[in-house]
Amino acid sequence: MGASKEYSIPNIKDDENDAPVTVSISAVNPAYSFITEAFTSSPKKILMKPGLNDFPKIGDYMVDFTLSDGYKSQIKTFKVTVTNSPPVFSTTPPNVLVAQGSTKLYDLPSTSDPEGHSVTVNVTHPSFATYNSVTR
């Protein structure tokens, strides 16, 4: 599952105090469904939760933030950047010494992905070595 991030909206004040201020957000592109309002909480929040295998992809997304007191409104745009960290080995794979004419079994360290994606391991090796992905 993708990681989520909440952004707390700072206290908003109308200098004229003539009406309550309403806050709304709208993604510049309607496909940005991973950004939602959570305005029932205090402080008000915007929840961003990109999925793992669907939209959005890694990159920058622009979101409009609208403030209104019923008389005038102001739109500010902010950027949401979706990132993805690479998978990692649990430990650094060590160098291996194999004497000519002998056999050496090498166990790869375990792997994981910070965002929870499945990890595929591909091994490039010399012709005298074999790789069994099932027992790795």
Regarding whether 73 and 103 lie in a shared domain, the answer is no
Residues facing 36 on adjacent strands: 47
Q: Buried b / exposed e across 83-122, counting CB within 10 Å, b at 16+?
A: eeeeeeeeeeeeeeeeeeeeeeeeeeeeeeeeeeeeeeee
Give CA separation, 108 vs 101, 102, 127, 130, in Å. Answer: 22, 19, 18, 13
Regarding whether 14 and 66 lie in a shared domain, the answer is yes
Q: What is the pLDDT of residues 29-57, one digit of tens each?
A: 555 566 666 555 556 666 677 766 655 67
Regarding whether 12 and 66 lie in a shared domain, the answer is yes
Is the Cβ–Cβ distance between 14 and 68 less than 8 Å? no
Regarding whether 60 and 121 lie in a shared domain, the answer is no
Regarding whether 108 and 59 lie in a shared domain, the answer is no
CATH code for position 61: 2.60.40
Regarding whether 70 and 11 lie in a shared domain, the answer is yes
Regarding whether 89 and 75 lie in a shared domain, the answer is no
Q: What is the pLDDT of residues 82-132, one digit of tens each?
A: 888 889 999 988 888 999 999 998 888 899 998 888 898 888 888 888 888
Regarding whether 93 and 135 lie in a shared domain, the answer is yes
| Number of separate domains in the chain | 2
The range of the structural domain enclosing residue 113 comes to: 85-136
Q: Please indicate, yes or no, whether the overall pTM of this predicted structure exceeds 0.85.
A: no
